[in-house]
């Protein structure tokens, strides 16, 4: 169901969009090592594929999300996005594909493509769900999306120099977790981290 937009929603969309652009551009650096430099810009097409697929998925499964509140839905999906980003990075930096054509190299390349698409699918789903829930001010949501993407491109340059491409991807995952915690707090739902902390406190009493 549509939700009355607020500043925290727009900030959340901008933050997720920022992390998606950071991840996309950092992957060009990772792909230049994993699959040689002339495969680097496939990261852009993979990002487009993942984000587009998330829109189709959100439309097909829209009835499954109707009963969830906007805050809890976006928070949970942001955590999934962060997890997918970390898992994808873990495997991508360990895979190497050769230039010679062989069934093994083809299978490895398809595996790399699938792994790289997961963050963009899950992150794109956050933005898609936000657009569908905040449809009354879709212009402001779209503006937040564009502003976040622009900021992601700008901060990527110093972050690449200081953290390297894998560090940038991990930073993007950390920002997605921060976005999820903010949504959990706004909705009055305890995040998994805070629930765990409170549980340890109760046990220690």
What are 193-203's pLDDT values in tens digits? 444 444 343 33
What does the pLDDT look like over 109-127, one tens digit per residue? Answer: 888 888 899 999 999 999 9
Q: How far apart are CA 181 and CA 21, in angstroms?
A: 21
- Chain-centroid distance, C-alpha 69: 20
Question: If we measure between CA atoms, which residue out of 168, 155, 148 comes closest to residue 17?
Answer: 148
- 57 pLDDT band, cuts 50/70/90, is very high
Domain 7-204 matching CATH 1.20.1250: the answer reads: yes
Domain boundaries, the chain: 7-204
Higher pLDDT, 37 or 86: 86
**Averaged pLDDT, 138-160:** 90
């Amino acid at each position: 169901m549509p939700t009355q937009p607020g500043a925290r929603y727009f900030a959340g969309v901008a933050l997720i969009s920022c992390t998606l652009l950071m991840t996309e551009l950092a992957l060009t650096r990772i792909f230049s090592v994993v699959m040689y430099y002339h495969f680097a810009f496939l990261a852009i097409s993979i990002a487009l594929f993942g984000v587009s697929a998330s829109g189709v998925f959100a439309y097909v499964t829209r009835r499954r999300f109707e009963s969830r509140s906007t805050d809890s839905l976006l928070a949970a999906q942001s955590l999934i996005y962060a997890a997918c980003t970390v898992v994808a990075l873990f495997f991508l930096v360990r895979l190497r594909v050769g230039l010679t054509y062989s069934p093994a190299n083809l299978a490895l390349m398809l595996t790399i493509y699938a792994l790289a698409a997961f963050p963009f699918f899950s992150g794109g789903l956050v933005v898609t769900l936000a657009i569908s829930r905040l449809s009354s001010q879709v212009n402001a949501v779209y503006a937040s999306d564009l502003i976040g993407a622009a900021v992601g491109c700008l901060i990527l340059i110093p972050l690449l120099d200081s953290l390297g491409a894998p560090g940038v991807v991990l930073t993007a995952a950390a920002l997605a977790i921060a976005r999820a915690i903010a949504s959990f707090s706004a909705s009055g739902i305890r995040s998994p981290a805070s629930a765990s902390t409170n549980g340890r406190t109760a046990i220690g009493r």
